[in-house]
Structure 1
């Protein structure tokens, strides 16, 4: 048996439903000869006669009826599946899967997703917090989040908000006991709260001021694996922490933490949402990208007003 085309099977079912070649041709908007040729090709590919024809009527053969009994529900399922897929194209729905580092999830992506879901109730969002560099397409994600300089060239990227900044923070009690570092080199005499990445490397602290740059591999008794843990340790007076400013903003405002070496903290690129270079994104992805762009415009507007 040769390969059978789905549209030929549709024509066969349509002929039986309409009661003849002419009626099926009229419904499809083609000539009767096209319907006849299609039916002939289908029977040739199957090696079986599917229809008994007379001048006044047509009727399925035994083989045709068996095929039709299985074909009708299958075609209905296919039409339903195509309608559901078309809905993804026209109406924001379905599931968006996004992978992002923890800090981006905490301070940018989650608030953004919450606003998006309020206005698009038919869309589900799954966010995976993971800093590992992976192939988002191969892992089944619609988008990912990275720093600007870490983007693959075959991806499209849009900023998620304002540029980032690290803050060097400690509890007032720790500073009272150990003194305030004035330059990054002073940190070698302090108990720094270190961060170990999932891959095993220890995070380095980078500083910049007036054209000078300095990189420190901090020393300290406590090593942790997340910014939330580092914040808890800093608040408990365990040492000096190096965290994104967004994590420390509230504690700095109420005096629970103080910032040191503020003039040495360089600006960093913003987080970027990146996604494959596709011409046919789903309606949900298109709507989410618009939400991202609106959020970024508002963030940059706030910077200009500040």
Structure 2
């Protein structure tokens, strides 16, 4: 029998059913002394005798009978719940809650999220996207997703994407009208599409060539706070955008957008899933981790 943690109640029901402390002990895999002590302990706390017992017989008192009638259905339901969970530990069911950066679901939908939902029909995936870094444990999330450099050191991390880099891009028409910048200094003569960060400041483009680093402080012509909006602004020909290649690979392949100053755009760590501890990882999260690793190996 799968133990629920309600040992004393299980003991009382077993003794009532078997009408014997020794028979109840054999059924529960306990010693007769442990069974006797469990019943005595519960009687002491309730201040009620549950059983009349002699050297030859055991029988419920009237109070014991009424007590057993009340607890038996509830304990049976708890038992069924415990056995159901324990019987299929590898079958994911329930809700998986993940905190992620804005627009992360868009990046991961193909194939990770789509395959996860299709493969595990009894799972519900709830992904909350926000720019701020949250305490996933305190706020009730099973896991978080962030860039590798932002993952807390006390968490276990699993790569979800390969390395990426921010690229400076514009439409061919914009570059035909304004020319291609060749160095960070040239950016002063261009219209830049800036990004407002969650803390309120404007993100300064971080460029690097060999060991030389450069932070772009040119005032943007337009400021937006969503990567999707920045992408659309770049496609409209407004100016130069600094955007992750995750969002623009198709545009680069078709020539809709053109990258410039690639030598100033270094690679950085990709997205990682992170969670607390290795012990008793929920089946739904374990399935998500395993699928992510499977996709990375393809």
Distance 1:218 1:95, change over 3 A: farther
Question: Unaligned stretches of 5+ in structure 2?
Answer: none
3-state SS in 1 of match to 2:202: coil
Q: CA deviation at 1:229?
A: 0.4
3-state SS in 1 of match to 2:7: helix
Distance 1:192 1:135, change over 3 A: same
User: Using the alignment, how far apart are the partners of 2:227 and 2:36 within structure 1?
Assistant: 70
Distance 1:34 1:220, change over 3 A: closer
Distance 1:207 1:32, change over 3 A: closer
Give the TM-score taking structure 2 as reference length.
0.90
Question: Unaligned stretches of 5+ in structure 1?
Answer: 299-306
TM alignment of 1:1-306, pairs within 5 A: 6-53=6-53, 58-86=58-86, 89-108=89-108, 111-298=111-298
Check conservation: 1:193, 1:223, Cα contact below 8 A: yes
3-state SS in 2 of match to 1:259: strand
Distance 1:218 1:129, change over 3 A: farther
Distance 1:221 1:143, change over 3 A: same
- Greater CA deviation, 213-222 or 103-112? 103-112
Distance 1:58 1:169, change over 3 A: same
3-state SS in 2 of match to 1:126: strand
User: Using the alignment, how far apart are the partners of 2:203 and 2:110 within structure 1?
Assistant: 25
User: Using the alignment, how far apart are the partners of 1:88 and 1:178 within structure 2?
Assistant: 63
Q: CA deviation at 1:156?
A: 0.9
Q: Once superposed, what is the RMSD of the aligned Cα atoms?
A: 2.2
Give the TM-score taking structure 1 as reference length.
0.87
Q: CA deviation at 1:88?
A: 7.0
- Greater CA deviation, 215-224 or 7-16? 215-224
Q: Number of aligned pairs?
A: 294
3-state SS in 1 of match to 2:192: coil
